[in-house]
Chains A and B, each alone.
Chain A
């Protein structure tokens, strides 16, 4: 099983390489993660890079982001605003936005 995944990942990466080299990777696309994260950028600045005094949320480890968002939602981590937004997303959605923001 593990082997198969590794093999497929390798194949996909290879294909991506071809596409990039061929210059086919072009503009004009919006992923689910980008759309989700754009709703965080409203308060956390472009690319989640912060907007005084709201903190930067870019470049965070995906697991850490999902963890703190779940903690906001359960109010284990106290917040004035975040608990209400964090409660609105599934774990899968949190992962997608976290992955997008990590690369910013």
Chain B
């Protein structure tokens, strides 16, 4: 054995087809490798929690620490169901006990600084710690000043774009609204977290209104001229609620009157660039978005406010040994979704484990799926598989659920059913 190096050995196994045989038996392919070192992951959401889990799974000897500001995580996926009164908050709230049980150190604190050079992370409590590698998945922050008064309306026009108290506040306002009232939903210009999110939200609020306040209306005053799964959403709206001016859901695109210029909490009105005014009884103003503060302060963002990374490993293009995942990074053709962040996290974990073991990472592979419920029993989705080509993430295969009634009714019902399966599975992947 001494005179045969690891590569030769692996080549021999490969030649016999036994490499795959070994993985079947649950034995790692590169039996001589051992990944060890210290990795700090910041942010315990879709990117961070998944990355910590897979670092530990694929590199059990790696010292993995997860730092998260909150003691519990509330998922944005299925928060529109909470908003519509179909699900209690505790069903979308998770603790980090599952990660702790696997030997991941979990620290509940806010990271105030990341020194990219020394891989030193400073906590609000004053402590600091260093690692071989730092992974950041801190999500988004809202940026204000693009729309007049946009920094003053978090209470009067809740965004509910980070799940938690904001979700419950918007829920309370919708519940308190009189029958015959108007709900305005104001999506920001792309790119933003969860491209189908505002339209799923309109759907599930419509479902609530139809059953409880049927004279009410929803107007989506969009700052975009098209939206995710558009045809399938619109067909579903027509089928279930009625769509168009005077109907339950009315969608006004950006080209009709321009972007939103002003929100006024004292009169509960919204004004578009070319003067059109809308009055709402409940207003859901979703602010413009950028990568979270943490990565700005660490100097990791580009001129647009997002982080450029090597899209195979997710290592920052400006800081070696620092990796950025999820909503905060630029990931080629992938949308900003929880499923995308989960997929990116697995590639990042594979890259780090391989690097710490002195191996090449396996060829990256990525996937995304975004289910949207148009009602609790009517689902649609978009799904794609991606590969790494010429330095960026490109689509290999993709598809959207065909608009109703191209498929049988049970198809949409099954999509709604499997959406819950997706949720159960991905949250198990993160927190189980």
The interface of chain A, by Cβ under 8 A from chain B, is: 5, 8-9, 11-13, 15-16, 18-20, 24-36, 38-39, 41-46, 51-54, 80-81, 83-85, 87-89, 93, 95-96, 99-100, 102-104
**B residues adjacent to A (C-beta < 8 A):** 1, 9, 12-13, 15-36, 54, 58-62, 339, 342-343, 346-347, 349-350, 353-354, 356-357, 359, 361-367, 369, 381, 383-386, 396-399, 401, 411, 414-415, 417-418, 420-422, 424-426, 428-429, 432
Contact status B23-A33, CB under 8 Å: yes
Residues of B contacting A24 in the complex (Cβ-Cβ under 8 angstroms): 31-32
Distance in angstroms between the alpha carbons of A20 and B426 in the assembled complex: 34
Given A39-B346, A85-B383, A88-B384, are A28 and B36 also a contact pair (CB < 8 Å)? yes
Chain A's closest residue to B365 (CB) is A36
Q: Are A52 and B60 in contact (CB under 8 A)?
A: no
The 6 residue pairs across chains A and B that have the minimum distance between CB atoms: A88-B385, A28-B35, A54-B421, A51-B425, A87-B397, A29-B28
Chain A nearest CB from B401 CB (Å) reads: 8
Complexed CA–CA distance, A46 and B54 (Å): 11
Residues of A within 8 A of B369 (CB): 42-43, 81, 85
- Do residues A29 and B13 form an inter-chain contact, with CB atoms below 8 A? no
Tell me the nearest residue of chain A to B422, going by C-beta.
Answer: A43
Cβ-defined contact, A19 with B32, below 8 A:
yes
In the complex, what's the smallest C-beta–C-beta distance from B24 to chain A, in angstroms? 4
B420:A53 contact, CB within 8 angstroms: yes
Q: How far is the CA of A46 from the CA of B98 in the complex (A)?
A: 13
Q: In this complex, which of B343, B367, B369 has the most chain A Cβ atoms within 10 angstroms of its Cβ?
A: B367
Nearest-neighbor residue (CB-CB) of B385 within chain A: A88
- A35-B346 in contact (CB<8A): yes
Q: Given A8-B12, A81-B381, are A39 and B432 also a contact pair (CB < 8 Å)?
A: no
Give CA–CA (A18, B346) in the complex, Å. Answer: 32
Contacts of A20 in B (CB 8 A): 27, 31
- Rounded to whole Å, the gap between the CB of B26 and the closest CB of chain A is 5
Query: Which of A51, A54, A80 has the most CB atoms of chain B within a 10 A radius of its CB?
Result: A80
Most B Cβ at <10 Å: residue of A11, A29, A33: A29
State A85–B422 Cα separation when bound (angstroms).
Answer: 14
Contact between A99 and B425, CB atoms less than 8 A apart? no
Q: Which of A12, A95, A100 contacts B13 (CB 8 A)?
A: A12
A80 to B354, CA, bound (A): 35
Chain B residues, CB < 8 A from A99? 20-21, 23-24
Give the contacting residue for B415; candidates A36, A80, A88, A89; CB below 8 A. Answer: A80
Kindly list 10 other residue pairs between chains A and B, CB separation below 8 angstroms, not including A30-B350, A42-B429.
A8-B12, A25-B27, A25-B28, A31-B28, A38-B54, A41-B429, A42-B369, A51-B421, A85-B397, A87-B397
A27's partner among B34, B401, B415, B421 (CB-CB below 8 A) is B34
In the assembled complex, 20 residue pairs joining A and B whose CB atoms fall closer than 8 Å, in A order, are A15-B12, A16-B22, A19-B1, A26-B34, A28-B34, A28-B36, A28-B59, A28-B356, A30-B361, A31-B29, A35-B362, A39-B366, A42-B367, A42-B369, A42-B426, A43-B425, A54-B418, A88-B384, A93-B365, A104-B26
Q: Kindly provide the distance from the CB of A73 to the nearest chain B CB, expressed in whole angstroms.
A: 8
Contact partner of B353 (CB less than 8 A), chosen from A12, A28, A87, is A28
Residues on A with C-beta less than 8 A from B13 are 12, 16
Q: What are the residues of chain B within 8 A of A5 when measuring CB–CB?
A: 16-17
Residues on A with beta carbons closer than 8 Å to the beta carbon of B30? 29
A30 close to B353 (CB less than 8 A):
yes
Report B-chain residues with C-beta under 8 Å of the C-beta of A103. 23-26
Known interface pairs A36-B365, A80-B411; A30-B58 also in contact (CB < 8 Å): yes
B417 → A minimal CB distance (Å) = 6
